[in-house]
Chains A and B, each alone.
Chain A
Amino acid sequence: MSTRESQLDKHLEALFGGLDTAADFDARLMARLRAESQTDAGERAIRARQQERERYRKALLALQSWRRSVLRLLTLDTLGIAFLLVVAVVTAWPRLNDVLDISRQYGPYLATLLGVLIAAVPLVGMWAERTRGPIRLL
């Protein structure tokens, strides 16, 4: 490095080497942090209260929506199905052994039949959809 360059280095070092904040910088920052900390504590408490209120409101809404969906299920159809199920169980109960024998004997067939029925429902639906002609007003 030439003397001229080292002179330049020295000047630049003198210019920027001592660059620093004002003497009271740390004190000012700490005071600001303390103020922020107090504000933060207050804000945190308000936020916590708001969050708790929000959680309660959401839980209440979920409960209400669950209640509504249960009530929506209580139609004449579902009541009828439930009644038929109860009748079926009450009728089958005294002959439980016979029912079990039959299910053991015909179990695979019954399962196959159920599978076919379940698979047929969407197929029948699709077929009905395709065969339905355009709606004519006249």
Chain B
Amino acid sequence: MELVRAQRQDEAIALLLPAFRRKVFGLAYSFLRNREAAEDVTQDVFIKVWRALPGFDGRASLSTWIYTISRNASLSALRARRPQSSLSDPEVMDAVEAIDSAPSADAMVDHAALLRLVDQLPTKQRQVIMLFYMEEQSHEEVANMLAMPVGTVKTLLHRARARLSAAVDN
């Protein structure tokens, strides 16, 4: 906030970027299900944050403010992007490959199948699952990111995991 007050937005962004880049990207990705589009949205979000920082009054916490911008930007991008892609698109599969630096053949099959199962979950459950495992399993952080009560996140997570477990069994 001091940097913002001193009109040093560039330095403020340099501090915010490592703290929020993954979170904003994850949030955008959970909406868009497309790596490239999520990166574009993440860039736009930081540009918006950089522009709006001088007007940030600190009434909401910085993270809540950034997540609100991210959700709005993601929804706008989602509306502009039709038809929707899915997690099991070839480019996402490439990303899965990138996740494991040296995957075994079995793990690859498992991950690809699991991605498809996650993709079939209802939107909110899918978002919660993605962000929960991305965000080191913090219910509070996921709740803050999606602007949901923690209880709702827990319920959605429980349902999503039960669904995935059942699907994996089948």
B26 touches A19 (CB 8 A): yes
- The B contact surface, by secondary structure, is helix
Q: How far is the CB of B102 from chain A (nearest CB, A)?
A: 12
Partner of A14, one of B22, B25, B111: B111
Partner of A28, one of B43, B100, B111, B164: B43
In whole angstroms, what is the CA distance A130 to B13 when docked? 71
- The A contact surface, by secondary structure, is helix
A4 CB contacts on chain B under 8 angstroms:
165, 168
In whole angstroms, what is the CA distance A49 to B128 when docked? 49
A33 touches B13 (CB 8 A): yes
A12 touches B43 (CB 8 A): no
On whether A14 and B99 interact (CB within 8 A), knowing A5-B161, A21-B25, the answer reads yes
| A window 14-61: CB within 8 A of B | 14-22, 25-26, 28-30, 32-33, 36-37, 40
| A window 49-105: CB within 8 A of B | none
A8 CB contacts on chain B under 8 angstroms:
161, 164-165, 168
Q: How far is the CB of B106 from chain A (nearest CB, A)?
A: 11
Q: How far is the CB of B63 from chain A (nearest CB, A)?
A: 18
The tally of residues in A whose CB lies under 8 Å from a CB in B reads 26
Q: Does B75 contact A (CB under 8 A)?
A: no
Partner of B133, one of A5, A17, A37: A17
A-B contact count (CB 8 A): 80
B99 touches A21 (CB 8 A): no
B47 CB contacts on chain A under 8 angstroms:
29, 32-33, 36
In whole angstroms, what is the CA distance A28 to B14 when docked? 13
Q: Does B148 contact A (CB under 8 A)?
A: no
The tally of residues in B whose CB lies under 8 Å from a CB in A reads 36
Interface flags, B91-119, vs A, CB<8A=1, else 0: 00001100110000001001100110010
Q: Does B29 contact A (CB under 8 A)?
A: yes
On whether A25 and B42 interact (CB within 8 A), knowing A15-B114, A33-B10, the answer reads yes
A22 CB contacts on chain B under 8 angstroms:
39
Q: In chain B, what residue has the closest Cβ to A5? A: B165
Partner of B17, one of A9, A11, A29: A29
* Residues of B in contact with A (beta carbons under 8 Å apart): 10, 13-14, 17, 21-22, 25-26, 29, 39, 42-43, 46-47, 50-51, 95-96, 99-100, 107, 110-111, 114-115, 118, 129-131, 133-134, 136, 161, 164-165, 168
* Residues of A in contact with B (beta carbons under 8 Å apart): 4-5, 8-9, 11-22, 25-26, 28-30, 32-33, 36-37, 40
